[in-house]
Amino acid sequence: MSAYNFEEQEKIDRLKTWWSANGATLLLAIAVFAAAVVGTRLWNHYKVEQARQAADLYTVLQQQIEKGGDLVKITDAAQLITESFPGSGYASRAALIAAHSAVQADNNQSARDMLQWVLDHTKEPEVKDLARLRLASVLMDESEYDQVLSLLNTQHGASFTGLYADLRGDALAASGKTNEARAAYQKALDSLDAQGAYRNVVQMKLDVLRAH
């Protein structure tokens, strides 16, 4: 056998030895990789399909609002989204819409349930801040001042400071804590847009307290 053929045979023998020791592991790794690629594609397709279905249901909910649909239909549509697609951004927004409709229909319990769902499930800080503010407003109508203050004392985004402070002033004033209410209203004034119309409302509340 020539030197060339001997070297080639030696390489083949080494390859056979390596394959005997590592071949099964390599095949398994390849199989796992292929499964991961296919799995990732399937998962991405699933997420896209879920998002599409959630968007379709959200459109149905908005159509119910535009048609002046009754609270039962609106709530049913919102619950279908929150139960079927709880992780989507549409779910929290659907719950906020249903809660608003419930307040307009004087169904505070339904509103509270929907808003609490948002607080328990949403991962969006601003959506959570909005839900907390609206829930505090509902509780304010029910004279649950301690609960209102507990919600509003929770850390929130800077853009909500004025609105939180204003509602906190309402709860404190209703509780007879005039000095604290004044401080809350002043904080609201300091945080709200100087040119905004809502600032005038807060100023009126503060002026009334200062007169007493």
Which stretches does DSSP call E strand in the chain? none
* Phi then psi dihedrals of residue 118, to 5 deg: -60, -45
Residues of the chain with CATH 1.20.58: 144-212
Q: What is the pLDDT of residues 132-165, one digit of tens each?
A: 999 999 999 999 999 999 999 999 999 999 999 9
pTM of the model: 0.75
Report d(CA 212, CA 205) in Å as an integer: 11
Q: What is the pLDDT of residues 163-194, one digit of tens each?
A: 999 999 999 999 999 999 999 999 999 999 87
Q: What is the pLDDT of residue 53?
A: 72
Band (70; pLDDT cuts 50, 70, 90): confident
Number of Cβ atoms within 10 Å of the Cβ of 156: 19
| CATH code at 144-212 | 1.20.58
> What radius of gyration, in Å, describes the C-alpha atoms of the chain?
30
Number of Cβ atoms within 10 Å of the Cβ of 12: 10
Q: What is the pLDDT of residue 35?
A: 64
Structure-block tokens of residue 103: 């307040």
Report d(CA 3, CA 170) in Å as an integer: 97
- Range with lowest mean pLDDT among 42-51, 97-106, 135-144, 159-168: 42-51
